[in-house]
Each structure stands twice: as structure tokens, then as C-alpha cells.
Amino acid sequence: MGKYTELDLDTEIIGKRIFHFDELSSTNNFSRELVEKGAEEGTVVVADEQTMGKGRKERTWYSPRGGLWFSIILYPNFIQTDRSILLTMAASISTAESINALADVEGKIKWPNDVLIGKKKVCGILTEMEADVDEIHHAIIGIGLNVNNELNQDLEEKATTLLKETGRNLSGEDVLRAILGNFEDLYFRLKNRGTRQIKKRWSDLSAIHQKEVLVEKGSKKIQGKVEGIDDRGRLVLRSEAGEHSIMTGDVEIL
Ligand code: BTN
């Protein structure tokens, strides 16, 4: 326990309870254990260092000291399973808005869940959940933000940190406080069935809005211009063949 437990938040549920560890294997994994023990909605788990940080597609996520590695526990049974991407979007929007305000950078979102500064990734989000066809039982939103940490050699080319971008050490507590506040606002909007704000703020922050992209979905590739996102958080592309709504995939800007 330590610094992150006294954030003095003015949120209603998100971050009301914060677990802070010096070291954990993965904040997502620990959150999963907490869910099994009946943790309250909005519980946050932060670790200064993760020894087995997880990324998307079973990749590892390099998580040394100096970065902000945390997870938020949610029970969003009001969101249908095929709209779960909206939760990830709420997280990427809150992160981008927070770093843009606090570090004066131009963080942009690459759908669905990366935050980039220029062409380099500063934040990744891993949402893990348990759901059946029409209801999400729990969701764990894991956010990894490169703040003051070092990057390893493999990452230097494609990733960046807030320290590198600004030349300043930002306080992890300030960044976390801002993200949790912004996230709660969007989460409550989703709870009230509101997707308008998410769609609008996503378009404002999107690195790919109105751009020509190539989306790789398994063995399928679709090229088109990004028109926006729909009410389910799907990416809407227009190609010569017509309109496509895409739920998941890897996006390359052409
Ligand atoms: C990605 O591949 O872009 C997603 C990276 C997500 C990393 C975060 S760090 C906090 C949380 N705990 C994990 O083990 N992963 C996520």
C-alpha cells in the first residue's frame, strides 16, 4: 500500500477502493482474484512494477518502475456483450484526454485501444471479461501508460513515454486521478445508454478519423476510409464495395 491509495478523488465509484503494490505479476490477474472474492465495482489495482504484464494477443507488456500500470474492476451488466468495445474506448478516451491536459501533448487514439503520440504508442489497454451472449458479468480494464519509465530496446522504435515527449517527470498520481475521473464520467454516460459523447470525443481524438486505412482481421484485409464508429463501438469504413462495420482487427494507416 502507498501513495496511490490517497488520491483524494471526487468520483462516486471508480477508485473508491485502491490497492497499490510495489510489485505484482499483473494488475489484471490480481483484479481477477479480487472479483472472485466479490470486490466492489470501481475497485482499482495499481502496481509500480509488473513481472508478467500482459498485452493483447498474449504478448507480454514491459512494465518497469516509473510507468502507470493499473486495472479497473467493473460489473457492466447494462452493456450487451457485443458492445463491450465501448468500455475500452471509454478507457482510451479518458487516458488521451488526461495526458493531453496534464502533459500538454497531442495524444491520439488508434482504434480500438492504443493511445499514440505521433506514430508512437504511449498507452495500451487490455480489457478482459467474463460474459455470456447477452450480458457482461465482469470486466477488467487494464491500462498501461508509459510515464517516466525506461523503454527496452525492442520498444524504442515504436513506443514513447510522457517523459520523453515532454522532458518532465509527471506525477503518476496526478495522471491516475485524472484518468479515473474522466473514465467515471464516460462510464456513467454508458450506463445511461449514452454513446453520443463517446462517439464525438473519439472522433475528436482519433488518429484515424477520415483516413484511409487497412484493417487486418484474421486472414481478411479491408481497405477503406474511416467514417467513424457506430453505437456498438464498431469501426465504420467506406470502401469501393460499400460500408463495413468492424468489431476487431489491426488497423494500419495508409
Ligand atoms: C496492449 O497490448 O496494448 C495492452 C497492454 C495493456 C497493459 C496493461 S498494464 C496494466 C494491466 N495489467 C496487465 O497485465 N496488462 C494491463
Contact 169, 155 (CB under 8 A): no
Provide mean pLDDT across the span 48-71: 97
The predicted-structure confidence for 127-160, as pLDDT tens digits, reads as follows 999 999 888 999 999 999 999 999 999 999 999 9
Mutate which of 32, 73, 126, 127 to test ligand 1's pocket (most atoms within 8 Å of Cβ)? Answer: 126
> In angstroms, rounded to a whole number, what is the distance separating the alpha carbons of residues 230 and 82?
12
With CA atoms as reference, report the closest residue to 51 among 63, 36, 34: 63
Give the chain's end-to-end CA distance (angstroms, integer). 45
CA distance 254 to 251: 9
DSSP labels for 70-119?
EEEEE--TTS-GGGTHHHHHHHHHHHHHHHHHHH---EEEETTTEEEETT
Task: Summarize pLDDT for 176-227 with one digit per residue, the tens.
Answer: 999 999 999 999 999 998 888 899 999 899 989 999 999 988 888 999 999 9
User: Quick one: pLDDT band at residue 2, thresholds 50, 70, 90?
Assistant: low
Q: Which candidate, 113, 71, 159, 83, places its Cα nearest to that of 251?
A: 113
What is the number of the ligand 1 atom nearest to the C-alpha of 56?
2
Residue type, 173: E
d(CA 165, CA 151): 13
Choose the weakest-confidence range: 17-21, 31-35, 75-79, 130-134: 130-134
Find the Cα–Cα–Cα–Cα dihedral 73, 67, 176, 195, rounded to 10°.
-60
Q: What is the mean pLDDT of residues 236-241?
A: 93
Q: Which of 33, 43, 48, 54 to mutate to test the pocket of ligand 1 (most atoms within 8 A of CB)?
A: 54
